[in-house]
Amino acid sequence: DAGVIQSPRHEVTEMGQEVTLRCKPISGHNSLFWYRQTMMRGLELLIYFNNNVPIDDSGMPEDRFSAKMPNASFSTLKIQPSEPRDSAVYFCASSLARTSGDSYNEQFFGPGTRLTVL
């Protein structure tokens, strides 16, 4: 089991550039979450998908942020144009959401992408 895979692990870009973060969830999981971690705001949920459909995107900060999940094994988080205040660690997590039985629905996190916008 490879776990949740995120790429790149580190990204340094200049203000105004487009940034694309990628995530491959654990095989068989049907829910995927994007989080942002900063010193000031801690861990914030940006958006999450269930069966490739966005369920809640209320955490997406503004229109510069967009997320897609074209299939069950891949998701992207795009920032266009990027700004220095977007500098953070971005985590992807996945879980198997069950509607009955054990519904802990534990989320497994990827290693994160550290984004620096100059």
Partner 1 sequence: AQTVTQSQPEMSVQEAETVTLSCTYDTSESDYYLFWYKQPPSRQMILVIRQEAYKQQNATENRFSVNFQKAAKSFSLKISDSQLGDAAMYFCAYRPTGANSKLTFGKGITLSVRP
Q: What is the DSSP string of 31-95?
A: EEEEEEEETTTEEEEEEEEETTEEEE-TT--STTEEEEEEETTEEEEEESS--GGG-EEEEEEEE
Q: Should residue 10 be labelled a site residue for partner 1 when binding is judged by CB under 8 A?
A: no
> Residues 59-88 vs partner 1: string with x where CB under 8 A?
------------------------------
User: Could you tell me how many residues of this chain bind partner 1 (CB under 8 A)?
Assistant: 25
Q: Read off φ and ψ for residue 85, nearest 5 degrees.
A: -70, -5
Q: What is the rounded distance in angstroms from the CA atom of residue 104 to the CA atom of residue 118? A: 40
Binder to partner 1 among 91, 94, 115, 117 (CB under 8 A)?
Answer: 91
Query: In the complex, what is the shortest distance from the CB of residue 117 to partner 1, in angstroms, rounded to a whole number?
Result: 18
Contact 115, 87 (CB under 8 A): yes
Q: Should residue 99 be labelled a site residue for partner 1 when binding is judged by CB under 8 A?
A: yes
Q: Which residue has the tokens 């990628």?
A: 22
- Which one of 11-19, 60-68, 74-82, 102-110 is the stretch in contact with partner 1 (CB under 8 A)? 102-110
What is the contact surface with partner 1 in residues (CB under 8 A)? Answer: 31, 33, 42-45, 48, 50, 55-56, 89, 91, 93, 97-99, 103-107, 109, 111-112, 114
